[in-house]
Amino acid sequence: MTDAAREDEARALARLEETGAAIVAGVERQVPGWARAQVERLLDAWGHAPADGRVRAEAQSAEAGAAAARRIVAERTRTRFSGLGDLRKIGVLTARAAGFLTLGGRRLQTIRWAEQLGFWRPEEEAGVPQLLYEFSPGTFR
């Protein structure tokens, strides 16, 4: 290996380490706030959460977000992911996430998850589309 090749490799490894540190810092900074924002969004959409329940949910979401960030950082610093199996071991829903992930510079799947997840299981009546309505769709225009 030439001196130039060694220098290139050293620079690449330094950039890789720098990128890894930036990912860790970003996760530590962003995940707790993201978790809290998701809970607040759901509580706002629900619209009738009691005040004490809302405060408790927001506090627990901040704790859960911080715990998730710690877990991600711990996994990131001790594990080198080499495939989807490694991600499954830590609880990543790889069937949904694979189209958005890369490992070793390669996208894990070319098709991205394009279906919005429902609130109910398909077999539950609440999640089944109702084809007949008692009013016209244009009634409320």
8 in a structural domain = yes
Q: Are strands 106-107 and 102-103 parallel, antiparallel or unpaired?
A: antiparallel
Closest CA to 111 of 101, 121, 120, 122: 101
* 18, 50, 53, 66, 71 from 90: Cα distances, Å: 24, 34, 30, 17, 9
87 domain residue, yes or no = no
What pLDDT score does 49 carry? 78
Which residues constitute the domain of residue 71? Answer: 1-78
Contacts of 28 by beta carbon, 8 Å cutoff, 6+ apart: 69, 73
Does residue 30 belong to any structural domain of this protein? yes
* Beta-carbon contacts of residue 29 (< 8 Å; ≥ 6 apart): none
Instruction: Determine which helix (DSSP H) or strand (DSSP E) holds 30, and give its type and residue range.
Output: helix 3-46
Residue 11 lies inside a defined structural domain of this protein:
yes
The verdict on residue 16 lying in a domain is: yes
66 falls within a domain: yes
The helix-helix angle for 51-78 and 3-46 (nearest 10°) equals: 170
Q: Count the domains in the chain.
A: 1
Output the pLDDT for position 121. 59
Distance CA 107, CA 115 (A): 19
Task: Give domain status of residue 127, yes or no.
Answer: no
Which helix (H) or strand (E) segment holds residue 106: the answer is: strand 106-107
- Name residues of the chain where pLDDT drops below 50: none
CA distance 44 to 56: 14
- Asked whether residue 117 is domain-assigned, the answer is no
